[in-house]
Structure 1
Amino acid sequence: MKRHIHAVLCAVGTLLASLSLSAGPAQADGTTPRVDLRVLVVSDGGPATGAIAAELDTAGTPWTEIDLTAPGRPVIDAGFLADTVEGRQRAKFQAVVLPNDNPFPAGSAEMAALAAYEQTYAIPQVDAYTYARPAAGLKTPDNGGYAGSVDGVRAEVTAAGLAGPFGYLDGDVPFEDISPTVGESYAYLSTPADGADFTPYVEAPIPGKTARGSLVGEYRHDGRRELVVTFVYNQYQQQFRLLARGIVDWMTGGTRLGASHNYFAVHVDDVFAADDRWNSDLNCTPGDVDCADSSVEPDPIRMEPDDVAHATAWQDAHGLTLDLAYNAVGSVDHRAENGGADALADRFVTDRNAFRWINHTYTHAFLGCVQDTTVVPWKCATTPGGATDWVTRAEISDEISTNRAWGEAAGLPLRPGELVTGEHSGMKVTPQQPEDNPNLAGALSDNGIEWIGSDNSRDPRQRQVGPALTVSRYPMNIFYNAGHAAEQVDEYNWIYTSRAQGGSGICEDNPATSTCLPEPLDPATGYDDYIVPLETRIALGHVLANDPRPHFIHQSNLAEDRIAYPVLTGVTDGYAALFADDTPLVNLRMEDIGTEMRQRQEWRTALDAGEVVAYRVGSTVTVRAPEGVAVPATMPAGTSEGSAAFGDAYAGGLSGWTVPGTQPLTLTLPASAAAPAVAAGGVFDPTSTAPRLPVPAGVTEPAPYTPKN
């Protein structure tokens, strides 16, 4: 055994010698090495490395995957990791992510190559999910620690974590416990091994002990730095979403391509109009095309002036501006029916600058095919020749222009390029209308529309519609036809319970897309106890996923019982309890969201085409990208772009988009951005292969906690 270890250690020395370098930040012929801004992700197919890769991908950070399970994969050796470009030594990756601290067989030359590379270029390594053991700087769990479920545990960022990579958090890191019957997390809680240079960043109480055990910590040894993560996760779980930014900041030193923010925007549709109410006897909504009993009159829900005052006060208290999508005919008709009076519209116009406004068309007409409502569900009417009968370009254009003219006359602060059509109509809606109305593009062009809202549940990707790009909006499961909590629960029970329980049975007919409730919700408590926590969790999940897409509700939800506010407050207050003040919710309006989505897609296209080159040499970052393509980057505070400061402050660093033009983008880092020094003590032992670890069912498959539409 001693001869075997000696042979492997000699191999490490040979790798270092092959680069003509010593351990520590590399120097070659008096020059500073180039380090490419790209992350190497070595995956074993597990959820933890997949989660980190997803975080990099969403942010727009370049990364390369080596799948250890793939036949014929590239071999990780000195040539794979580093080379020489224009006489300067190049490290091809700024960080390495491994499934654990050593996923290779004992004596692996690949692990030896990685260790030598990390020592040579001061490259950090993330152990995505590893066993607590001395090789990772920790005592084993049977030495005063713990191994098992941490469902529902409230972990905490340490002082070192708050002063370091997790400073954007307030401190608490709650672990999900969605299902009482499914294990959702597993962890090894332990304290640093004797003599180890180990700093815990995130800890949790060790059951039955007074001590706290590390869940995330930094281990420094033999000229290397490892971020040791001892719990398993997937990309959707809240505990990972909270820590993902810090993991990436740690591995990149806060210097990387790509950017991540926490976004929350809420569109309120049908303002000035009224929304028809759900009828619990008919189990449909009189006034809707699919509610067949014409003998029952619609029962409209419309905001009152006091609801406007409540909305402005709520905004002020929660630091969020609502986007109001309005239909002017609602006020015009109300005045005609009430002797010219409309107190709601008067109050909104008085407070118009407290909100952002979006054209939602004049009458909320359906702008796709002409609907044949003689059948349920409706279908597209046809011409005498059998072709689809489409709403005309002139009719669509009139709906847009008339509503905009009314808004401009009322002094609403509009952006004329934004539009949300009624029911997102005009665009495809399956199964009845599988294609866009061919007249829609021309009408958008006639009115200078650049951004058009779409329903994320059926049209999630940004696409071109004539001159406009879509902005996908998340529908909140707070129904447009409910002003009272009891109505919401009644309709919810109808949709999400089986026929035997008095429901529609839709959940039984479509098990792939919907889940039945185990029993109907209590009409008196079901909204507060079930729907509000569920919708809050879903929306907050979008917020934490670097997802700028807005959510939408309806004006009815701000009227009567004002049932939207418990969910909106749950998101804003829940977020504030988790994040530091320097990491606020980003509340963009529709045009800015659309621009963000467009820039991301253009950046992704450039990355996939291999058209982006980015690297750091000392304190200088250089980025080459196609002309006109905006570059997203995250940099340390104090970074400059020429003579100006780079980006905007967020989460303790700077981030932003910049267009390099014909010349490469050049950024200058502050002196504080130098790689941390690492003690050269210790000897890497490549024979210490990490064991494979358990992954609970709630990680490999998200825990079943919610009905889905």
Structure 2
Amino acid sequence: MARSAHSWRHRRNAVAALTAAGLLALGLAAPGTAAAGEPRIDLKVLVVDNGDSPVRAITAQLKSTGIPYSTVDLTDANRPTITDAFLSDTVNGTPRAKYQGVVLPGEAPFGADSAEQTALENYERTYGIPQVDAYTWAHPGVGLDYTSEGGWAGTLDGRAASVTPEGKAGYFGYLDGAFTFEDNDPAVQESYGYVARPRTGFTSYVDIPVPAGSGRGSLIGEYSHDGRRELVVTFAYNEYQQQFRVLARGIVEWLTQGVHLGQARNYFAVHIDDVFAPDSRWDTEHNCTPGDFDCVGGDGEGTTPIRMTAEDAVHAAQWQREHGFTLDMVYNAGSGEEWKSGNGGTDALADRLLADKAQYRWINHTYTHAFLGCVQDTSTVPWSCAKNADGSTRYMSRADISAQIRNNYNWGVTKGLPLDRTELVTGEHSGLKTLPQQPADNPNLAGALADNGVKWIASDNSREPDQRPVGAALTVPRHPMNVYYNVGTEDEMVDEYNWVYTSTADGGSGVCENNPSSTCLDDPLDPATGYDEYIAPREARTALGHAISNDPRPHYAHQSNLAEDRTLYPVLDQVLADYHALFADNTPVENLAQSAIGTELQRRAAWRTALANGSVTAYRIGNTVTVTAPSGTRIPVTAPEGTTKQLLIGTTAFGTPYAGKRSAWTTPELLQSALRLNLPS
């Protein structure tokens, strides 16, 4: 018998009432239910932007972390006006604060006592919303003495700063304590600041000794006054400077009070390409690499290919153990077999690496490092793509690409390598588009990847920094390390570096004179000291910058860099030493496998899309956080220790610990339409 619409609605409403009653009986409020008297605070940040680099730096940190934000551009004549209605309203009878934190260029960008400034200050006071003053000068209006009263103002380049005990006990507790302002060029002022003594109501979180004075003065601190809280920053910075990168997490955690969407971690992974294969050696006489199509006169006679020895492999394993860091060995089995056959059928290097195989991660690099893109026509320099009779580009076939992937993987399986067949690095990232000669992927590549179950294919971050699909697979961009593949000694490295980075007048190639993204050396580097004193420290600083920027992309070097002078180790040693000197034990570097890196990038892209589409709702009412997102979307959340995730019945611990907080990519549990977290009291 058909039921009437009225009777069905009555039955549905009765079930809903019973469900709500059941939840209350279990001590659970229905989703979205406000605790009595508690306002709703949306998990979103308001950024007031005047175009200066400090605001842009904090905005970049919000974006990288995955924290939603809205920007009011002070240079836009059509910008919205800051009013009570812009900042707050009421939802289902509950007062709502639309922003959990506010980022301003300075303490009062709209003008003291102006209508907009008054509205903003009343909003912060009413809802307890924190405000970051991205960069301001020292004066009593921000809780500091003038610098003329025992303080100082000037260039901070090269000066040592420290996190105070109060900062360590608060949102900067992920740092070991001390750090140094960058001083990359003594001829350039890189960071100017005001060092000042705190007044009543001001708590310093980061300070330095007062230059040419006594005592210490604040650079970052909290000013509590008039029912409001401001994080006062009194030095200039941009998003790329190391001092900001080190402090950015603490600034954002203070801004959000440690409860926000998104998560940030520090990442560092290193791929070692061409394992088992030899690499060609730089010809210091002809300034080119034998085998390259433009190496005129450099036929390689008198040069010996570079290949690790068994002793180098022993050192690699020992280095890993000493540093607690795992390298990714990206291997070419066929090239190793060729080497073995030409050396009496023995290969001490392969024997040693395979004996220690469990100590490394391993990635398929194709069997013989073949070029998987178009067929290369080397009759001209530079090379071009060969053509078919009809004028179309001639590409390596799907069968040949698949064989390169399959044969290398199968060899690894027979040797017992711990492999993930979904991961692949092609030789020279070939098969993917290679500008200018090959502007599109080899159309046969996607099918070959599918044939072999490849889901994650490496790309060159310097050419393609964004993850993109290749058929059903996704790219994993890798940072190239500026430690050349074709050098075995520090002298060779300096020789090639000088060729690339010196002017023709100084005996170099002059490439640096014609490349707007490059800078020529003032003078050629000394072959005896240039690597240790100039090249390695610069590369270590670059790699560390990536590691502390919430950038999971791996770096890559080559097996040649673990051979002979072992040129890669000074860079890795410096990166890890500098990292451990900056960060506390609760903030370890994350060393992820390629598939995990690809997954992280994929989740971030989906999250950015959900935010851009306005399909995420997140808010806090009292100690309860509620988040809704499109079905299947993983939600990144950061919350304090002690936070629990609400299940249909009961709770479970939320996330994993990192930097003094807990964070995770998560989803609502079974039969739940929203993610709900319970914050500690």
Does TM, scored on the shorter chain, surpass 0.5? yes
- How far residue 330 of structure 1 moved from its aligned partner, in angstroms, is 2.5
Q: Does the Cα contact within 8 Å between 2:645 and 2:678 map onto a contact in 1?
A: yes
Q: Which amino acid aligns with 2:500?
A: I
- How far, CA to CA, are the matches of 1:641 and 1:291 in structure 2? 62
Corresponding residue for 1:58? 64
- How far residue 660 of structure 1 moved from its aligned partner, in angstroms, is 2.7
The answer as to 2:322 corresponding to 1:317 is yes
- How far residue 384 of structure 1 moved from its aligned partner, in angstroms, is 2.0
The answer as to 2:500 corresponding to 1:490 is no
**Do the aligned partners of residues 401 and 218 (structure 1) sit closer, same or farther apart at CA in structure 2, a change above 3 Å counting?**
same
The answer as to 2:85 corresponding to 1:79 is yes
Corresponding residue for 1:243? 247
Corresponding residue for 1:94? 100
Q: Describe the SS at the equivalent of 2:250.
A: helix
Aligned counterpart for 2:192 among listed residues 151, 168, 186: 186
Aligned counterpart for 2:662 among listed residues 654, 668, 674: 654
- How far residue 292 of structure 1 moved from its aligned partner, in angstroms, is 3.4
1:250-273 Cα offsets, whole Å, 9 max, x none, are 111110001000000000000000
- How far, CA to CA, are the matches of 2:497 and 2:560 in structure 1? 16
The answer as to 2:41 corresponding to 1:31 is no
What are the within-5 Å matches in structure 2 for residues 346-357 of structure 1? 346-357=351-362
What are the within-5 Å matches in structure 2 for residues 104-119 of structure 1? 104-119=110-125
Q: Describe the SS at the equivalent of 1:129.
A: coil
1:623-665 Cα offsets, whole Å, 9 max, x none, are 0101111111111001111221111100001011012376111
- How far residue 295 of structure 1 moved from its aligned partner, in angstroms, is 4.2
**Do the aligned partners of residues 302 and 182 (structure 1) sit closer, same or farther apart at CA in structure 2, a change above 3 Å counting?**
same
- How far residue 299 of structure 1 moved from its aligned partner, in angstroms, is 2.2
Q: Does the Cα contact within 8 Å between 1:307 and 1:559 map onto a contact in 2?
A: yes
- How far residue 331 of structure 1 moved from its aligned partner, in angstroms, is 2.2
Q: TM-score w.r.t. structure 2 length?
A: 0.93
1:143-174 Cα offsets, whole Å, 9 max, x none, are 11111111111111100000111000000121
Q: Does the Cα contact within 8 Å between 2:283 and 2:298 map onto a contact in 1?
A: no
What are the within-5 Å matches in structure 2 for residues 560-571 of structure 1? 560-571=564-575
1:348-389 Cα offsets, whole Å, 9 max, x none, are 111001000000000000000001112221111111222111
Aligned counterpart for 2:560 among listed residues 511, 533, 556: 556
Aligned counterpart for 2:232 among listed residues 225, 228, 232: 228
Q: Describe the SS at the equivalent of 1:492.
A: helix
Aligned counterpart for 1:374 among listed residues 355, 362, 379: 379
What are the within-5 Å matches in structure 2 for residues 629-644 of structure 1? 629-642=633-646, 643-644=651-652
Q: Describe the SS at the equivalent of 2:556.
A: strand
Aligned counterpart for 2:579 among listed residues 575, 578, 602: 575
Corresponding residue for 1:173? 179
Q: Does the Cα contact within 8 Å between 1:286 and 1:299 map onto a contact in 2?
A: no
The answer as to 2:425 corresponding to 1:415 is no
- How far residue 294 of structure 1 moved from its aligned partner, in angstroms, is 6.3
Q: Which amino acid aligns with 2:529?
A: T
- How far residue 63 of structure 1 moved from its aligned partner, in angstroms, is 0.7
The worse-fitting range, judged by mean Cα deviation, of 484-493 and 307-316 is 307-316
What are the within-5 Å matches in structure 2 for residues 301-312 of structure 1? 301-312=306-317
Q: Does the Cα contact within 8 Å between 1:290 and 1:373 map onto a contact in 2?
A: no
- How far, CA to CA, are the matches of 1:296 and 1:336 in structure 2? 21
Q: Which amino acid aligns with 1:188?
A: Y
Please, which runs of 5 or more residues in structure 1 have no aligned partner? 1-27, 672-709
Q: Which amino acid aligns with 1:585?
A: V
The worse-fitting range, judged by mean Cα deviation, of 524-533 and 291-300 is 291-300
**Do the aligned partners of residues 294 and 487 (structure 1) sit closer, same or farther apart at CA in structure 2, a change above 3 Å counting?**
closer
Q: Describe the SS at the equivalent of 1:84.
A: strand
Q: Which amino acid aligns with 2:119?
A: A
Q: Which amino acid aligns with 1:94?
A: Q
Q: Describe the SS at the equivalent of 1:301.
A: coil
What are the within-5 Å matches in structure 2 for residues 653-672 of structure 1? 653-660=661-668, 663-671=673-681
Q: Which amino acid aligns with 2:271?
A: H
Corresponding residue for 2:55? 49
The answer as to 2:609 corresponding to 1:601 is no
- How far, CA to CA, are the matches of 2:47 and 2:75 in structure 1? 13
- How far residue 187 of structure 1 moved from its aligned partner, in angstroms, is 0.7
Q: Which has the higher contact order (CA 8 A, sep 6+)?
A: 1
Aligned counterpart for 1:70 among listed residues 49, 61, 76: 76
CA RMSD, 1 decimal: 1.3
Corresponding residue for 1:588? 592
- How far, CA to CA, are the matches of 1:171 and 1:584 in structure 2? 15
The worse-fitting range, judged by mean Cα deviation, of 353-362 and 221-230 is 221-230
The worse-fitting range, judged by mean Cα deviation, of 378-387 and 260-269 is 378-387
- How far, CA to CA, are the matches of 1:520 and 1:301 in structure 2? 25
Q: Does the Cα contact within 8 Å between 1:131 and 1:230 map onto a contact in 2?
A: yes
The worse-fitting range, judged by mean Cα deviation, of 404-413 and 337-346 is 337-346
Quote the sequence identity (%). 59
The answer as to 2:432 corresponding to 1:424 is no
Q: Which amino acid aligns with 1:69?
A: T
Corresponding residue for 2:544? 540
- How far, CA to CA, are the matches of 1:191 and 1:34 in structure 2? 37
Aligned counterpart for 1:461 among listed residues 461, 466, 469: 466
- How far, CA to CA, are the matches of 2:655 and 2:68 in structure 1? 19
Corresponding residue for 2:332? 327
Corresponding residue for 1:135? 141
What are the within-5 Å matches in structure 2 for residues 471-550 of structure 1? 471-510=476-515, 512-550=516-554
1:652-693 Cα offsets, whole Å, 9 max, x none, are 01011012376111011011xxxxxxxxxxxxxxxxxxxxxx
The answer as to 2:155 corresponding to 1:145 is no
- How far, CA to CA, are the matches of 1:197 and 1:509 in structure 2? 55
- How far residue 30 of structure 1 moved from its aligned partner, in angstroms, is 4.1
Q: Describe the SS at the equivalent of 1:300.
A: coil
Corresponding residue for 1:15? none
Q: Does the Cα contact within 8 Å between 1:603 and 1:631 map onto a contact in 2?
A: yes
Q: Does the Cα contact within 8 Å between 2:150 and 2:214 map onto a contact in 1?
A: no
The worse-fitting range, judged by mean Cα deviation, of 608-617 and 339-348 is 339-348
- How far, CA to CA, are the matches of 2:171 and 2:558 in structure 1? 40
Q: Describe the SS at the equivalent of 1:577.
A: helix
Q: Does the Cα contact within 8 Å between 1:292 and 1:376 map onto a contact in 2?
A: no
The answer as to 2:619 corresponding to 1:615 is yes
Q: Which amino acid aligns with 1:670?
A: P
Q: Describe the SS at the equivalent of 2:537.
A: helix
Aligned counterpart for 1:276 among listed residues 280, 301, 304: 280
**Do the aligned partners of residues 29 and 357 (structure 1) sit closer, same or farther apart at CA in structure 2, a change above 3 Å counting?**
closer
- How far residue 180 of structure 1 moved from its aligned partner, in angstroms, is 1.1
Corresponding residue for 1:162? 168
Q: Does the Cα contact within 8 Å between 2:162 and 2:178 map onto a contact in 1?
A: yes
- How far, CA to CA, are the matches of 2:401 and 2:632 in structure 1? 33
The worse-fitting range, judged by mean Cα deviation, of 521-530 and 295-304 is 295-304
Q: Describe the SS at the equivalent of 2:574.
A: helix
- How far, CA to CA, are the matches of 1:168 and 1:584 in structure 2? 10
1:453-480 Cα offsets, whole Å, 9 max, x none, are 0000111110000121000000001000
- How far, CA to CA, are the matches of 2:590 and 2:149 in structure 1? 45
